[in-house]
Amino acid sequence: MIAKIGRSSCTSILVGKAATTSGSVIIGRNEDAKTAWPKHLAFNKHEENLANNHFKSKDNKFEMELPTTKFAYSSTPEWTDKYGVFEEDGINEYHVAMSATESAYANERVLAVDPFETEKGILEEAMITVVLPYVKTAREGVKRLGEIVEKHGAAEADGILFGDRDEAWYMEIGSGHHWVAQRIPEDSYAVVANQLAIQVIDFNSDDFMFSTGIQEFVKTNQLWPADQAFNFREIFGTHDDSDLHYNTPRVWIGQKLLTP
């Protein structure tokens, strides 16, 4: 008899508008929580002049002040907020869509010099709540979350999806204070599966965004040869058995289904 093996298979897809028959940007992700773990569909109204608009996590000690104007947005929070809000995904009144998150993993070499802020850093449970109601484009969403990570720190490695009417962006957090993001070309798509996936970064292109000082951080800590192209996945990511047997094959089958 073969023993039952539990798997946690969260997988994301982002599609540029020229790669869809409708001309629409598409982002999507399945969730790997328990089967009997229901969600609510929520619609949050537009609010102005909010006094003391302060967020405090129930999952760790992360907290921050929020803007006084909050845009209307949808979300799918968990049935309980005991472990955090986990609004998870939604679309706001400016047609910005966001999904948080595709869980990922960083390597020990990077975390030795920039560890995750597990006690006070932002977790995926808070990301929709503190970002989506306050941005008007996908690019603004990346910028806002990136600034939060740099200021407050991140508590984990994550991949976050953003989309609006024109652009799809994929953002990855690779250490306590460093991240990158890449715009999906309009005629292309990406499949991501529980691993840091963004590779070579063009620091002179508008198709990439990145944390302040990330190049200097890598150089100072001798994390990558100076004469090689800056490859985020190689520098920050993992290459273990889980990638080999579990994560990379899901990316492969996704590409095979869409581009046989």
User: Which residues participate in catalysis according to the annotation?
Assistant: 10
Distances (CA, A) of 198 to 35, 36, 63, 169, 234: 30, 33, 29, 11, 9
DSSP three-state, residue 56: strand
* DSSP-assigned beta bridge partners for residue 91: 97
Report which DSSP code applies to 65.
E
* DSSP-assigned beta bridge partners for residue 200: 231
Give alpha helix (H) positions in the chain: 108-111, 124-131, 138-152, 214-220, 232-236, 241-242, 248-258
Picking from 137, 139, 144, the residue whose alpha carbon sits closest to that of residue 122 is 144
